[in-house]
Chain A
């Protein structure tokens, strides 16, 4: 077989590019404080006083591919001041400023903007909330401690071609990350798959015991069940990236402005919901937005629908039973003509007559 030179060059290039990509993804973390000296060991774990297993192992490879790879450990674990360090009693505060100064900005980086937004949302803790509610509300870490090793794929985007443009001015190694950082956010609302978002919100909103304790509205109590029953929910459960997940509808691109329906700022507020649906349903109008996206079971509510449902059910069982009954009757009835199920003889009339003649009484 003849392999053209062009093809060989293509494969060599391809191997080269993928090797490049890998080398970038495993870039060294900013472990200036050398914390990994101890924390890279998998045996760095113990069972604590309450009998819970604790794992202090930090997987370097995974860490180096995480979003926080460029942040030094002590930017978050600020309370560690010496090495070897004292037993840790404090928690990480997501509002910390870190030592990274992002491009286009003067101050050091922090999540302040998101935290402000978040504190105003339905999930933010308000001073006069009862204690049960305070305990139940999610903090940043509840939603973000979930490991995010695999981002949803961007296979279908012709990204190598576009990226090549950046090499005109920037060195390859750095700009790939920058490019991904930007384009990924242009294309996708979230880095998690829709299924993972639903799983995240379900952890609390699907927990009926917890929600009952908080005295949420009936709609809110059944939100996950009803969503799962909807076509959006079914498609997402099967892995669709196109159907709406909770974040698509309940948050704007700020991602954390999840509010109650009657809040003017809520995306699901009557005044804003049309924009939400129009992300995907271009022709959404005033009529459309009334369609239930958290549909209740068909039997509750509308009497016509209930009637249709019942009659369809009756029709189904009725006709199936009647038809199968007729079929059995026919099969048995035709036996006296000699029609029996014999595998051998095929489609013709078979089976011996019982009587000698067709008509012999």
Chain B
């Protein structure tokens, strides 16, 4: 497949012509990588570079299916007076079966979340143990993400020539990850209260009701207050999650130009080379370091274009860094 797109490669000029700092990134033994090389690389639509482990792919699949099942059984209950609700319910074979399916979906989602927590905590522990852990390659937000967002917006409106060089997870993905984590937590907590209202009322000690001023929790006991909160949060969070997923996540991941029919990463765990370079440039540099084949490919490509590695090492003062190589002269 990869060769089909080899024709997309076009010669491009030597580094000398550019005015921008950071347009070229020099990687030792590879060469000068122009920021927009992603337009010229060969890419397999099914993905070239490992991005997600098999665990993550399984978790995504389970989460995705359980979410759809939960949404399609939960929404008709919430909107029970809307005309389509009974049809959806009868599709599932009646309300009591739909309720059961909703519960099975919920349990699947909770187990998936646990599984996810286990894998990321275990994976992090192993990485720390092997001294491979790198905060920049995780989902943890950093100030850089904010700058990246601003940079990216500037790029979109034409104030910056290139998109920011981003890590494995960019600002969008970090935001979405946090949103999903928070949403799952809220939905699980509120859903448990709807499913086991009697146990929730037992577990919540009456003292909480006494600590908070009575005007805040209303005249009734804290259990009643919490139940009201759970009813509200469960429905609102679910609708929010559904809207964000349907109108943003799916469009953003699969429907935008460059990714259109499908991004197979959610099944193959691999990201295409061009996408990696465009949106996760710094991760691509990591790939170059870690994957010999990738290094070979890029070296060959750059050599073809006359951007190969320097013959001699540059002098000390001119020491190149990975992220910010000044243009050569």
Interface residues, chain A, CB within 8 Å of chain B? Answer: 228, 231, 233-235, 237-242, 277, 281-285, 287-288, 290-292, 295, 298, 301-305, 308-309, 312-313, 315-316, 319-320, 323-324, 326-327, 329-343, 346-351, 353, 356-361
Contact = CB atoms under 8 A, between A and B. Distances in A.
Interface of B: 5, 8, 10-13, 17-20, 23, 34, 36-41, 43, 45, 76-78, 80-81, 85-86, 89, 94-96, 98-99, 152-153, 155-158, 172, 179, 194, 197-199, 201-202, 204, 206, 215-218, 220-225, 227-229, 231-233, 236-237, 239-240, 243-244, 247-248, 251-252, 255-264, 272, 274
B236 A312 contact: yes
B77 A235 contact: yes
B236 A316 contact: yes
A290 B262 CA distance: 50
A239 B85 CA distance: 11
A329 B227 CA distance: 41
Contacts, number: 214
A304 B197 contact: no
Contacts of A346: 45, 260-261
B261 A302 contact: no
B232 A298 contact: yes
Given A290-B224, A337-B36, 19 more contacts: A234-B78, A235-B99, A238-B85, A240-B95, A241-B96, A291-B227, A303-B215, A331-B256, A331-B257, A347-B262, A348-B5, A348-B272, A349-B43, A349-B258, A357-B12, A359-B18, A359-B34, A359-B36, A360-B17
B199 A287 contact: no
Interface of B is mostly: helix
A83 B238 CA distance: 68
Contacts of A303: 215-216
Contact of A298 (B10, B231, B252): B231
B198 A320 contact: no
Contact of A291 (B45, B201, B206, B248): B201
25 contacts: A228-B81, A234-B77, A238-B77, A238-B85, A277-B198, A287-B201, A287-B202, A304-B216, A305-B229, A312-B236, A312-B240, A313-B236, A319-B240, A320-B243, A320-B244, A334-B256, A334-B257, A336-B158, A338-B39, A341-B255, A347-B260, A347-B264, A358-B40, A359-B17, A359-B34
B223 A287 contact: yes
B185 to A, nearest CB: 14
A201 B297 CA distance: 76
A301 B225 CA distance: 11
Contact of B257 (A241, A305, A339): A339
A301 B38 CA distance: 57
A312 B229 CA distance: 12
A361 B19 contact: yes
A336 B197 CA distance: 55
Given A282-B198, A295-B228, A359-B36, A290 B223 contact: yes
Contacts of A359: 12-13, 17-18, 20, 23, 34, 36
Contacts of B17: 357, 359-360
Q: Which of B96, B204, B264 has the most CB of A within 10 A?
A: B96
Contact of B258 (A283, A284, A339): A339
